[in-house]
Structure 1
Amino acid sequence: MGLEVESRSSDSPYIERVWRSTSSGGLDRMTSVAITCGELVVWEHRGQVSVAVRGPETKASAAPVPEDATFFGITFSPGSWMPHLPFHRLVDRYADLPDATRRSFSLKGSTWRLPDYDNAEAFVRRLAREDVLDRDPVVAAVLRGESPGLSERTVQRRFVAATGLTRVAIRQIERARRAAVLIQEGTPIPDVIDRLGYFDQPHLARSLTRYIGRTATRLGDGDPVEPLSLLYKT
């Protein structure tokens, strides 16, 4: 009962994660945690198929979970974006894609076969080949700690263009997500604070509340009544 979630990593430079989930009775809503990447999301409920492109989310929020629905998503990697649907216009928002059926949907004026959990990479390769999806390598390089040889102003501009977020915002969200994963794994709070560079426990608490929607205690105990959206090690 509730929400069953499965996810996997990908060897595609355009994909951060591929996931799918199924809802059943006994669950009305979930907590959608902050995320720094855009996503393509497909869901079906009562025979109705919907497809949307979601932008980054800068804070945790409650999300309804319809009963007996299926969901599938491709989370794009940092720096991957759709120029005709720029993520800086979709921060904390989403864009519905038209003409969705169980077989296809419309994107940038063309009809596309609906992707699934097993062929996400082939689908994304076609997106890139047909210039629907682009990727800024500077963003990925900077997030890996590399120096791109560009001015700070240029780097910041490219971050906002590709992700809709500043570099500082991305680091804050990713740090909170890592903290949540560590706490769920049983890592002591002082170790989380020290490992991730928080000032103190109140600093960690504010970050978790804003980006994850949970206190450290609730993360450690779990919450089957209102589960979290996908969290994973980065």
Structure 2
Amino acid sequence: MSQKHTGRASPHPWIDTVWQTVCLADGIYRATPDGSWDLLLSVSPEGDPIVFLTGQATEPVDVPYLAGEHSVVISFAAHVYLATESAVRTGAAIRMLPVEDDQFELDGVRLPLPAFADAEGLVDRMIAAGLLKSDDLVAKAFSDRPKAASKRSVQQHFRRTTGITQKDFQMIRRAQEAVRRIKAGEAPAAVAVDLGYTDQPHMIKSIKTIMGHLPSDLELVHKI
């Protein structure tokens, strides 16, 4: 293994997951769609930090890395978006942010560098500064008590907030769940039936398209 990944769920309703990665050798990491956009801190082997925003991924992207690099990734919940951006970033596009004196700047606001242990504190500061907003309709779309709205309205809000359709989001999350369960040792055929795929080949095709891997090499898929 040339990378060590540590992930955790967050109690913060605006954060999906928080990741920390240490690169043990040079290599290429395949970043896979996960239904989130990210705030990412990457520190070079020499100790130089960069901070950037990634968009909502729609397909796997290969990312080279060097031994000695380490990173922290804050993946935001689907209902969260940047207040100042008129269009949602999708695909492989990134936005580099200025970094100086252990701080980064986002839309005129200086903030501490992301930390694995205190992602929640940083996000609270971003919310207080008006940098982040939440779409309540999207936030409640998958809850036990969704807001009363037409299917069309929900779809419009979802696309405007996430940059992808609600169906695409559901397909990504279903593929993630399939990978989790197969990696945990469940029979692929049973997983396919339980998650509503037409059959096992349908599930395999979906995992290959979204995650860029077949069930036989899922050990290479980490951030799920």
TM-score normalised by the chain length of structure 1: 0.89
Quote the residue 1:70 is aligned against. 70
Aligned with residue 228 of structure 1, among 216, 221, 224: 221
Alignment of 1:162-181 (within 5 A): 162-181=161-180
Partner SS, residue 6 of structure 1: strand
Query: Contact 1:79/1:162 (CA < 8 Å) preserved in 2?
Result: yes
Instruction: Give the Å deviation of 1:145.
Output: 5.4
Quote the residue 1:13 is aligned against. 13
Query: Contact 1:49/1:101 (CA < 8 Å) preserved in 2?
Result: no
Deviation track 1:78-134 (CA, whole Å, cap 9, x = no partner) reads 101112235623343221112x14611111112212131122111111111111011
Quote the residue 2:197 is aligned against. 198
Query: Contact 2:79/2:135 (CA < 8 Å) preserved in 1?
Result: yes
Distance (whole Å) between structure 2 residues aligned to residue 128 and residue 79 of structure 1: 13
- Provide the aligned C-alpha RMSD in A: 1.6
Q: How many positions carry a matched residue from both structures? A: 223
Partner SS, residue 119 of structure 1: helix
Which one scores higher on RCO, CA 8 angstroms, separation ≥ 6? 1
Alignment of 1:178-193 (within 5 A): 178-193=177-192
Instruction: Give the Å deviation of 1:136.
Output: 1.3
Distance (whole Å) between structure 1 residues aligned to residue 138 and residue 18 of structure 2: 20
Distance (whole Å) between structure 2 residues aligned to residue 140 and residue 41 of structure 1: 23
Query: Contact 1:31/1:229 (CA < 8 Å) preserved in 2?
Result: no
Query: Contact 1:23/1:66 (CA < 8 Å) preserved in 2?
Result: yes
Distance (whole Å) between structure 1 residues aligned to residue 139 and residue 117 of structure 2: 25
Quote the residue 1:109 is aligned against. 108
Instruction: Give the Å deviation of 1:146.
Output: 3.9
Q: Does 37-46 or 111-120 show the bigger shift?
A: 111-120
Distance (whole Å) between structure 2 residues aligned to residue 89 and residue 97 of structure 1: 15
Distance (whole Å) between structure 1 residues aligned to residue 21 and residue 195 of structure 2: 30
Distance (whole Å) between structure 2 residues aligned to residue 32 and residue 72 of structure 1: 14
Question: Do structure 1's residue 55 and structure 2's residue 55 form an aligned pair?
Answer: yes
Q: Structure 1 pair 74/156, CA: closer, same or farther in 2 (3 Å)? A: same
Distance (whole Å) between structure 2 residues aligned to residue 143 and residue 169 of structure 1: 14
Which ranges in structure 2 are unaligned for 5 or more consecutive residues? none
Quote the residue 1:92 is aligned against. 92
Query: Contact 2:61/2:92 (CA < 8 Å) preserved in 1?
Result: no
Question: Do structure 1's residue 35 and structure 2's residue 34 form an aligned pair?
Answer: yes
Distance (whole Å) between structure 1 residues aligned to residue 178 and residue 101 of structure 2: 38
Partner SS, residue 122 of structure 2: helix
Partner SS, residue 230 of structure 1: coil
Quote the residue 1:209 is aligned against. 208
Quote the residue 1:82 is aligned against. 82
Query: Contact 1:50/1:101 (CA < 8 Å) preserved in 2?
Result: no
Amino acid of the residue matched to residue 65 of structure 1?
Y
Instruction: Give the Å deviation of 1:61.
Output: 2.4
Alignment of 1:133-144 (within 5 A): 133-144=132-143
Q: Structure 1 pair 87/188, CA: closer, same or farther in 2 (3 Å)? A: farther
- Identity fraction in percent: 25
